Amino acid sequence: MKQKEPFTLYPRKNKSGKNVFYYRIYNENGIRTAGKSTGQTSKTAARNYVTDLIRNNQLTVEKDISFEVYAKDWWIWERCGYIKMKRAREQRISQSYTKIQRGNLKKHILPFFKSVKLRNINTKLIEKWLLSLHDTGKLSGITINHNLATLKVMLKEARRLGYIISDPTMDVSQYAEHPLKKGILSIEQVKDLFKEDNIQLLWNGNIIHYTLNLLSASTGMRLGEIQGLKVKAVHNGYIEIIHAWERSYGLKEPKYGSYRNVTIPSRVEMLLNDLIQQNKYNSPEDLVFYGSERDKPIYNKTISKWLYRALEGIGIKYEKGVERTITFHSWRHFFNTVMRDKISNYKLQQLTGHKTQDMTDHYTNFKISDFNDVKVLQDEMFS
């Protein structure tokens, strides 16, 4: 009787449409492993390939590892194979993102899956885990979905690398999300807040925080983009957004790689130029809004403190501001709301840096004359 081969072969179509043969073997527990490519397009050549592996003692069997073992180095910047792969291919991934994913893993994923064998994680078990997160009553749908997204990346990569045969998260749907709507100020409140006569009364004469807030209100720039603004990025009539400040990691690219140019009102341009001239650090590489150290911007909490101080001056007490969810990020919502019905969605997306197609092309071919209508509106509102 012919001896049974210790492996099985099967064809799988590659991207070009050709059949490539894969092989499966059995691990130490008698469980059939995920397939691995032979790179061969004929069954005979594939069989010879695997036979040679056996002859040279190179037919390795993956151990039936637990999720905890698989997750050991995941999301650690210096050690994670997935991160190294992304960076080697110059695909976008940030340290702040990986830090959040590692936190999700340690706090909400590992406690449930740590002792489970990787191959035993299935859709039913994932649904049970999600329900356990929901039933705590402490996590929002958004937070649950963020944790699911973390697990999805890990298991998709496990399938790609051959640890598991299929990705069990493919049939798992997200939970409903009910994000808090950011509060915004009325046009009248904003005009009152930034009235030139009120700089002393509401901002205690602090032209830096006055300008910083006015810049965000009139452009929709994110706080990190303003903190990362360099002197060399301030031009006549517009600003280049080429950096953002990340509290833990310093200067980095803008969110989603949204490099762009934004028009600024004449008054903001004048204030920025005055600040640059008066700053003791004003070389092209210096930050416009530096803090106690030359290479670091004003701290987030300090910015919030000055904003709430000014808001109290127009009758919005701190508690009321918190209740209305008014934060510095509310300026971005204010700008979007005011401009939405006045300029095209395309232009608004280019200015705010929301994810859109052809962002890089638009950035490269920027002409301020294309945004004259925006500048007119900015000047009318903030002059």
CATH number at residue 154: 1.10.150
Q: Are residues 22 and 112 in the same domain?
A: no
Q: Are residues 202 and 291 in the same domain?
A: yes
For residue 62, being part of any structural domain is answered with: no
Of the chain, the percentage scoring pLDDT greater than 90 comes to: 60
Q: What number of other Cβ atoms are within 10 A of residue 126's Cβ? A: 20
60 falls in which pLDDT band (50, 70, 90)? Answer: low
Q: Which of 2-16, 85-99, 343-357 has the lowest mean pLDDT?
A: 343-357
Q: Are residues 88 and 152 in the same domain?
A: yes
Phi, psi angle pair for 289, to nearest 5°:
-110, 60
pTM over 0.85: no
Q: Are residues 23 and 83 in the same domain?
A: no
The model's pLDDT over 259-313, given as tens digits with 9 standing for 90+, comes to 899 999 999 999 999 999 999 998 999 999 999 999 999 999 999 999 999 999 9
Mean of pLDDT over the chain: 88
Three-state SS at 289? coil
Report the domain count for the chain. Answer: 3
Q: Which of 52-66, 258-272, 356-370 has the lowest mean pLDDT?
A: 356-370
pLDDT of the residue at 375 = 81
- Of the three residues 17, 32, 55, the one that is the final residue of a domain is 55
pLDDT of the residue at 361 = 41
DSSP 8-state code for residue 371: G
pLDDT of the residue at 4 = 65
Q: Is the pLDDT higher at 61 or at 117?
A: 117
The model's pLDDT over 189-241, given as tens digits with 9 standing for 90+, comes to 999 999 999 999 999 999 999 999 999 999 999 999 999 999 999 999 999 99
Domain that holds residue 22: 8-55
**Would you state the structure tokens that stand for residue 366, as one six-digit string?**
């920027």
Q: Residue 177 — left, alpha, or beta (φ > 0 → left; ψ -120 to 50 → alpha)?
A: beta
| Residue 297 CA from chain centroid, whole number | 21
Instruction: Report how far residue 180's alpha carbon sits from residue 191's, in angstroms, rounded to the nearest whole number.
Output: 25
Q: Are residues 50 and 119 in the same domain?
A: no
DSSP 8-state code for residue 77: T
Average the pLDDT over 66-92 and give the result: 95
pLDDT of the residue at 267 = 95
Average the pLDDT over 158-179 and give the result: 88
Q: Residue 267 in contact with residue 383, Cβ under 8 Å?
A: yes
For residue 220, being part of any structural domain is answered with: yes
For residue 182, being part of any structural domain is answered with: no
pLDDT of the residue at 256 = 80
**Would you state the structure tokens that stand for residue 12, as one six-digit string?**
């799988």
Q: Are residues 352 and 206 in the same domain?
A: yes
Instruction: Report how far residue 105's alpha carbon sits from residue 149's, in angstroms, rounded to the nearest whole number.
Output: 11
**Would you state the structure tokens that stand for residue 34, as one six-digit string?**
């995920």
Q: Are residues 21 and 106 in the same domain?
A: no
Q: CATH code at 51?
A: 3.30.160
For residue 94, being part of any structural domain is answered with: yes
Q: CATH code at 339?
A: 1.10.443.10
Element (H, E) at 92: none
Q: Is the pLDDT of residue 69 over 90?
A: yes
Q: Are residues 200 and 74 in the same domain?
A: no
Instruction: Report how far residue 82's alpha carbon sits from residue 157's, in angstroms, rounded to the nearest whole number.
Output: 8
Average the pLDDT over 238-266 and give the result: 91
pLDDT of the residue at 5 = 74
318 falls in which pLDDT band (50, 70, 90)? Answer: confident
Q: Are residues 220 and 102 in the same domain?
A: no
Q: Are residues 118 and 260 in the same domain?
A: no
For residue 148, being part of any structural domain is answered with: yes
Q: Is the pLDDT higher at 344 or at 168?
A: 168
DSSP 8-state code for residue 35: P
- Give me the DSSP letters along 173-236: PPPP--PPPPP---HHHHHHHT-GGGHHHHHTT-HHHHHHHHHHHHH---HHHHHT-BGGGB-S
Q: Are residues 43 and 83 in the same domain?
A: no
Instruction: Report how far residue 122's alpha carbon sits from residue 22's, in angstroms, rounded to the nearest whole number.
Output: 23
55 falls in which pLDDT band (50, 70, 90)? Answer: confident
Q: Is the pLDDT higher at 73 or at 382?
A: 73
238 strand-pairing partners: 263
Q: Are residues 303 and 333 in the same domain?
A: yes
